[in-house]
Amino acid sequence: MQEKDKEKREPDRLDQEDTENSGTTQKESDSFLVLEENSEVPLSDTSKWNFTELEKVLEEQGELAHDETEVDSKVEETSSILEETKQEMELQDIKQEPKESEVDEDSFLQNLHQETRSTQLMNEEEQIGSEKEEDSSAKNLDPEKKSAKKTKKWFVSVLAFLFVLGAVYLWVTQDASNNPRASEEKTKVPPQKMTLTAKGKSFELDLRTIGYDGKDATKIDQKKLTAWLDDVKQQVDIPMKNASQKKVGTPITPEQTGSVVDVETVQEWLTDIKSLVNQTKELPFITVEPQVTTKDVEKASNKLVGSFKTTFDPGNENRTINIKKSSETIDGLVLLPGEEFSFNKVVGERTVARGYKKAGVIVKGELAEDIGGGICQVSSTLYNSVDRAKVQITRRISHSKEVPYVPPGRDATVSWGGPDFRFKNNYNKPMVIRITVSGGTIQINTYTAPGAERGKIPSLPPEKFSKSTDIGAKSDEDNPKKETKTP
């Protein structure tokens, strides 16, 4: 018994001595279990184990290890977040601080968020540091104290979050109350509708969408208003149509009486826009009678008003072909009152594929060969014929050199993409152009219907509410300098 007690009191010395002995003796005397203070039980002697005390010790040691691991991970995570926040703040310090007048809602919220985040991180670091210091003695704390401590921390965190949320809400609401745009949105303009009806259809426009505030009519976007009215007009108009015919001998399209919106009356309404607000108005219409009837078209070749004749050499085969081909295109053409004739538009491009040949032309005062040579004699003969009919000449250019088939200054040169010859029918009845090419002669006669008068074309009501911006811009074909070839 004395030897066993001696082994218990002096385990270190026995361990050193047993090292020189067998391995079996070393294992049996090397391990002890401490159950209470100044009480040791060898692990090999299981009969003396106190299992209740053992479970308590192991549970406290495991819980302590778990708490230490968790604290270490929180410290590392918080250190990493603080380092990133510090780098972001350093980068922001490098940038130039914005002016006070330029600080907006986003920058304010961002700064507030960063300050709150930094404060929270610092608090978390202090809390975690204190937790690490206190965890060493955590196993001796009472479970109720631990629970109370955790509840206190959670309560403080919730209060901090609610404080930040309340500050943000107060700032946003105050900013909105001071913002004029937000005030305008709160004070909504009541409905400002204009309703028009026509032929069983109804059209409604909210004037607020085009700038009307219910008081000042000058704020209305006139372009948007007239565009809406033009769209309404297009849907309800029945346009007037004159009787027409492309060429003598082709079918005649009969006339049609028109019924169109009275633009001038509606424009008078718009001078007092308040009288139209939230009211329904029936659109006024005008009946428009056709200017040209089927009988007018049928009689358009009965009255001769202009005639002219020129001669050419029929032995020049290519030139003769070009003269006949262009004349066939024009012969029998019917022009309605106010309609404009364009030689280039009617005859079209002169190409080999369309049957035109190379013949003599004038280029910068010199004779040359080119496709379509000879057609300028047709345009010049036509000019003299319609000029005798006293129509309105709208475009004519002379050659750069005198030509033998008309008197000096009485020619009209044409070229595709260059000079053009144009005139307008200023009679109140249709006109007909007839061309005869026989042997070496070109005869062009201009006709109209009996009773026709020049300058008697009645005006038509406006087609649109919006004013046309087309001021007659010239096309490339009106530029005499672009093309110098004059056949």
Domain ranges for the chain, please list them: 51-87+106-182, 193-290, 300-486
Tell which residue, 195, 66, 75, has the closest CA to residue 129: 75
154: confidence class by pLDDT, cuts 50, 70, 90: confident
pLDDT in tens, 292-351: 999 999 999 999 999 999 999 999 999 999 999 999 999 999 999 999 999 999 999 999
Q: How far apart are CA 48 and CA 22, in angstroms?
A: 25
Give the residue-averaged pLDDT of 28-46: 47
Please answer whether residues 375 and 327 qualify as being in contact, where contact means their C-beta atoms are separated by less than 8 angstroms.
no
Please answer whether residues 217 and 401 qualify as being in contact, where contact means their C-beta atoms are separated by less than 8 angstroms.
no
Q: What is the C-alpha R_g of the chain?
A: 53
Q: How far apart are CA 423 and CA 393, in angstroms?
A: 4
Give the residue carrying structure tokens 């061309």.
435
- Interstrand relation of 285-288 and 258-261 (parallel, antiparallel or unpaired): antiparallel
* H/E element, 11: helix 11-19
To the question of pTM greater than 0.85 for the whole model, the response is no
pLDDT at 321: 92
485: confidence class by pLDDT, cuts 50, 70, 90: very low
87: confidence class by pLDDT, cuts 50, 70, 90: low
Ranges assigned E (strand) in 321-421 = 333-335, 340-342, 358-363, 366-371, 392-395
Higher-pLDDT residue of 343 and 28 is 343
Q: How far apart are CA 263 and CA 187, in angstroms?
A: 36
101: confidence class by pLDDT, cuts 50, 70, 90: very low
Give the residue carrying structure tokens 């401590």.
149
Q: How far apart are CA 312 and CA 376, in angstroms?
A: 12
Please answer whether residues 362 and 487 qualify as being in contact, where contact means their C-beta atoms are separated by less than 8 angstroms.
yes
* H/E element, 32: strand 32-36
Q: How far apart are CA 86 and CA 68, in angstroms?
A: 27
Please answer whether residues 399 and 411 qualify as being in contact, where contact means their C-beta atoms are separated by less than 8 angstroms.
yes
